[in-house]
């Protein structure tokens, strides 16, 4: 009876709808009748599909007045061609606005034929059981949506599970098909875009891809066993999973210490090891629930579209192949935007590809004692947070090897590849030259590490970091092989070309660690945000900052350093004053009426007036504070000027002495820069060059600081490849300021007292041990370093390698007064040497001149002697003539001739004996004249020959 009433009610409703439809045709263009098609897997599903649409017409929330939904359903045919033909014959011919498609969970049936046929006309197709990732490709399945998620969406649950269990490194195993690759791609994308702390990002250590249908997986498992990760994520079908589980059990890789997380298909294998975790989609096999959700989502989309868009009639046959239904495109977009909060399968929503999101999963644990599969957690939509949420009952999980405690998820290696870099005083590198020579007990072999992993060169390392590495290895029990950075740099984040595409990657030490070619970096590696994003740091083993190194300004110790107290103008005025005063003294003493005192000396002569040379000598003597023994002024006026000049000389000498001490002894050179805020650094001058190391932490610091951008642009062109070369240029004054880590620069300043650090520390940070992301050694290294700080071990390293006792020596050197050296007073010694050389040169000139004068005097003497002989000859002839005349007169008078002549010569002889037979020289005539005047006797004529007793030859 009740069935008859339902039929009558449905018939009446149908008539009423037709009336309203006819009435609506006059008022609105949109249709009021919508036919929904269905391609279902069974008769039961078909029946439920029809009943659901019938009941939908009575739900005013989804179906407005005047609108009626009808259904047309067919069963899925095993032959896809017949399925496509049936879609055209029964569904499209019925003008369906959308198609709900389902296929059996077992078998090879696929809704692809329905999707292709309907998609050609852009008729939306809603899948309720197909999970292949191929349907997400909208280039092929243009109008396909589904209320079940694709297999690749299990990656989202995997990421949440790894976060929950704190597994940071995994090995990914997947089949080389569309689903496997899609799952890997989604896992990598999701794990790298986590919004939480970067420390929880999951790293895939290796990816194992296999062809479906293989017979052995042992070779790949052996490689996996040698890896560090012990967490395996696997996507495989039932057959492939069975092979993998078989070979893994033979290698004991399903025992304690391992963790397996697999997808739904792998759980169907009959040899699934105990302790494995897997996923199961909630309501995955509840076809009725998905039918209902898909119909109500479609009804919601048609309701919204009917209010805002013009709806045209659906295609009515497959013969018109060129017709594309534009309303179908709009309807697809409206369906994709729908959100069904209270669906039978939970929250129903779609992504841009039309795939179901917010699907719920059960976390399943394989336990043999409890019905094989045990639900230990859920991944569901949380309405309060509006996000998916994972809950796990960890206590109820049985792990591989029947362990109740969660595996660590990794194998801790006991032998590490450690990298370092040459950086004094933290790492000293020495090359072994002799073939039989080895490293000392303090040193560690550290060959260069090349890209192929081979170790080259025979080098030994020692220093601060090497002692720290030795102590770390003893403290936390690991062995290591040490190598130097392959390119000699800490690492820079640069853009590189790879196969036509560009991407940013790290170089140097950081690049080796990020590329997993090394396990640890023990070097003065500064902790900064850029590096911490890609590698993991321990707690700082040394705190430091950034400072500026420069060389102390040198004193102007040139050859003329002793002239520095006075300016050039003052020196010129002093020189001019000396000679002007000397000239005035000479003139005053010469023209003064009281210039001569007529004091008789012991030799009976009087003192002469001051001549010009003596006046100059006097002026210089007074100025240079030397004793003046002679050549002093005699007049009163000249002596007054001399006293004034002496006062002037005293002031000049005292001022010179005081300034000389200030210039050469007391002055201490100060640093040129006051620190990073120095205006000359901020507004870089042409004569001030500053630099740092390319790609270093200091370089990154300047990049981050906006207020230092102007300074950084100038520095960038001057930056060096290594700190060693920059410090060397500072020592040789080729670089004015080097900005670097304070530890290294303080060490250099302690080694060389000519170097000094300027200003306060800035950009404070610390040096840390670099490790790979998720390294199992990070906690142990950090705890060991904290223990080293508490025990005083780090302080002992500071005293041994950085300070080395030289810092106190430099401080003591700064406090002691300066002493003048040869460099300061070299000019004075050169001046004395020049005086000596000048004196010797002058004496040579004087001797040469005197020799020339003597030769000239000898020639004059010879000339005078010849003249005297000529005069004597003339006088003799006159005398002879006179004597002849006298003889004649005597004879005439009777006087003997001989007696007369002898008498004359006797007289001359007496006169010669009285004055002595002196040889005459030029210039003594006036002396003889005075003497003759005093005596009153006439001198002997100069032209007379010397007196002699024998004058017989004069007798004619």
Show binding-site residues.
Answer: 524, 526, 531, 741
SS3 749: helix
- Residue 837 structure tokens: 């050389």
Cβ atoms 227, 410 nearer than 8 A: no
The secondary element (H helix, E strand) that includes residue 25 is helix 2-27
Closest CA to 100 of 88, 115, 89, 86: 115
SS3 229: strand
The sheet carrying 444-445 orders its strands as 428-431, 459-462, 444-445
Burial class (CB in 10 A: 0-12, 13-18, 19+), 370: exposed
SS3 478: coil
Alpha-carbon distance 322 to 319, whole Å?
Answer: 9
Cβ atoms 152, 185 nearer than 8 A: yes
Cβ atoms 344, 353 nearer than 8 A: no
Q: Which residues have CB under 8 Å from 73's CB, separation 6+?
A: 37, 38, 39, 40, 46, 49, 50
Chain-centre distance for alpha carbon 865: 99
Chain-centre distance for alpha carbon 420: 16
Chain-centre distance for alpha carbon 850: 77
Beta bridge partners, 367, equal 372
Alpha-carbon distance 712 to 947, whole Å?
Answer: 108
Cβ atoms 446, 420 nearer than 8 A: yes
- Residue 804 structure tokens: 């080395």
Beta-strand relationship, 520-526 and 755-771:
antiparallel
Residue carrying structure tokens 């009558």: 8
Alpha-carbon distance 793 to 746, whole Å?
Answer: 20
CB-CB neighbours of 107 under 10 Å: 10
Pseudo-torsion of CA 848, 850, 854, 860, nearest 10°? 110
Cβ atoms 254, 230 nearer than 8 A: no
Beta-strand relationship, 444-445 and 459-462:
antiparallel
Cβ atoms 423, 723 nearer than 8 A: yes
What count of Cα atoms within 13 Å lies in the side-chain half-sphere of residue 796?
Answer: 9
Residues in binding site for L-glutamate: 524, 526, 531, 741
Closest CA to 861 of 939, 915, 942: 942
The secondary element (H helix, E strand) that includes residue 915 is helix 897-915
- Residue 513 structure tokens: 């660690």
CB-CB neighbours of 81 under 10 Å: 9
> What is the DSSP secondary-structure string of 301-328?
HHHHHHHHS--PPPP--SS-TT---HHH
Cβ atoms 506, 492 nearer than 8 A: yes
Phi, psi torsion values for 760, nearest 5 degrees: -80, 160
Cβ atoms 336, 146 nearer than 8 A: no
Pseudo-torsion of CA 474, 478, 481, 482, nearest 10°? -50
Alpha-carbon distance 134 to 141, whole Å?
Answer: 8
Closest CA to 339 of 304, 309, 385: 304
């Amino acid at each position: 009876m009740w069935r008859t009433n339902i039929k009558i009610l449905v018939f009446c409703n149908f008539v009423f709808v037709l009336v309203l439809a006819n009435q609506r045709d006059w008022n609105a263009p949109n249709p009021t009748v919508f036919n929904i098609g269905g391609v279902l897997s069974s008769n039961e599903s078909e029946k439920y599909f029809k009943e659901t649409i019938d009941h939908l017409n009575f739900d005013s929330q989804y179906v407005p007045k005047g609108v009626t939904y009808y259904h047309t359903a067919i069963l899925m045919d095993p032959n896809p061609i017949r399925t496509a033909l049936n879609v055209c014959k029964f569904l499209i011919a019925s003008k369906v606005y959308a198609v709900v498609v389902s296929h059996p969970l077992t078998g090879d049936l696929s809704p692809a034929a329905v999707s292709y046929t309907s998609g050609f006309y852009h008729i939306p197709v809603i899948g309720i059981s197909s999970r292949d990732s191929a349907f997400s490709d909208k280039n092929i399945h243009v109008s396909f949506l589904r209320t079940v998620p694709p297999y690749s969406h299990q990656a989202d649950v995997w990421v949440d599970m790894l976060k929950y269990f704190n597994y940071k490194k995994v090995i990914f195993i997947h089949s080389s098909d569309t689903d496997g690759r899609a799952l890997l791609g989604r896992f990598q994308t999701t794990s790298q875009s986590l919004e939480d702390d970067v420390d929880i990002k999951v790293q895939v250590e290796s990816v194992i891809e296999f062809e479906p249908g293989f017979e052995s997986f042992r070779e790949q498992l052996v490689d996996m066993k040698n890896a560090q990760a012990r967490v395996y994520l696997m996507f495989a079908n039932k057959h492939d999973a069975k092979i993998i589980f078989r070979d893994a059990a033979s290698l004991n890789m399903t025992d304690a210490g391992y963790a397996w997380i697999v997808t739904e298909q792998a759980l169907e294998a009959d040899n699934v090891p105990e302790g494995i975790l897997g996923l199961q989609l909630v309501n995955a096999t509840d076809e009725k629930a998905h039918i209902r959700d898909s119909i109500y989502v479609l009804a919601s989309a048609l309701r919204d579209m009917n209010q805002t868009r013009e709806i045209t009639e659906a295609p009515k046959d497959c013969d018109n192949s060129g017709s594309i239904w534009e309303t179908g495109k709009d309807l697809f977009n409206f369906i994709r935007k729908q959100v069904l909060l209270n669906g039978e399968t939970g929250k129903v929503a779609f992504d841009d590809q039309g795939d179901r999101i917010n699907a719920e999963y059960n976390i399943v644990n394989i336990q043999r004692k409890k019905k094989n599969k045990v639900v230990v957690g859920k991944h569901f939509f949380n309405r309060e947070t509006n996000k998916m949420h994972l809950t796990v009952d960890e206590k109820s999980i049985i792990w591989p090897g029947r362990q109740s405690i969660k595996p660590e998820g990794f194998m801790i290696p006991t032998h590490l590849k450690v990298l370092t870099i040459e950086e004094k005083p933290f790492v000293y590198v020495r090359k072994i030259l002799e073939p039989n020579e080895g490293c000392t007990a303090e040193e560690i072999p550290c060959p260069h590490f090349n890209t192929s992993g081979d170790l080259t060169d025979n080098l030994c390392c020692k220093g601060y970091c090497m002692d720290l590495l030795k102590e770390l290895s003893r403290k936390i029990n690991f062995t290591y092989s040490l190598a130097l950075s392959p390119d000699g740099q800490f690492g820079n984040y640069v853009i590189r070309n790879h196969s036509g595409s560009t991407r940013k990657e790290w170089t140097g030490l950081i690049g080796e660690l990020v590329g997993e070619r090394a396990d640890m970096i023990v070097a003065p590696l500064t902790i900064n945000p850029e590096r911490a994003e890609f590698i993991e740091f321990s707690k700082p083993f040394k705190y430091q900052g950034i400072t500026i190194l420069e060389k102390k300004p040198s004193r102007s110790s040139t050859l003329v350093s002793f002239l520095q107290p006075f300016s050039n103008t003052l020196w010129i005025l002093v020189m001019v004053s000396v000679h002007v005063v000397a000239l005035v003294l000479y003139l005053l003493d010469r023209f003064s009426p009281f210039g001569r005192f007529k004091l008789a000396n012991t030799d009976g002569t009087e003192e002469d007036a001051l001549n010009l040379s003596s006046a100059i000598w006097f002026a210089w003597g007074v100025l240079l504070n030397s004793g003046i023994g002679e050549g002093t002024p005699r007049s009163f006026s000249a002596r007054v000027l001399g006293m004034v000049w002496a006062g002037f000389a005293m002031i000049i000498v005292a001022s010179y002495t005081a300034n000389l001490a200030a210039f050469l002894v007391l002055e201490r050179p100060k640093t040129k820069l006051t620190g990073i805020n120095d205006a000359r650094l901020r507004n870089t001058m042409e004569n001030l060059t500053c630099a740092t190391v390319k790609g270093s932490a200091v370089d990154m610091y300047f990049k981050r600081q906006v207020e230092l951008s102007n300074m950084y642009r100038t520095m960038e062109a001057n930056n060096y490849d290594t700190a060693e070369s920059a410090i060397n240029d500072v020592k040789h004054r080729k670089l004015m300021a080097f900005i670097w880590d304070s530890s290294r620069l303080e060490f250099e300043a302690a080694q060389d007292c000519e170097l000094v650090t300027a200003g306060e520390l800035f950009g404070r940070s610390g040096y840390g041990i670099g490790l790979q992301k998720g390294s199992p050694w990070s906690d142990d290294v950090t705890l060991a370093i904290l223990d080293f700080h508490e025990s005083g071990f780090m302080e002992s390293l500071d005293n041994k390698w950085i300070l080395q006792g030289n810092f106190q020596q430099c401080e003591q050197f700064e406090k002691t007064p300066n002493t003048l050296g040869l460099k300061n007073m070299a000019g004075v010694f050169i001046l004395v040497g020049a005086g000596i050389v000048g004196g010797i040169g002058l004496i040579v000139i004087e001797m040469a001149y005197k020799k020339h004068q003597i030769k000239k005097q000898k020639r004059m003497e010879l000339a005078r002697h010849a003249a005297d002989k000529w005069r004597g000859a003339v006088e003799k002839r006159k005398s002879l003539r006179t004597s002849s005349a006298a003889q004649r007169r005597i004879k005439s008078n009777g006087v003997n001739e001989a007696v007369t002549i002898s008498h004359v010569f006797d007289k001359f002889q007496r006169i010669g004996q009285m004055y002595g037979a002196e040889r005459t020289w030029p210039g003594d005539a006036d002396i003889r004249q005075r003497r003759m005047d005093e005596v009153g006797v006439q001198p002997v004529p100069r032209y007379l020959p010397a007196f002699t007793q024998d004058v017989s030859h004069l007798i004619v």
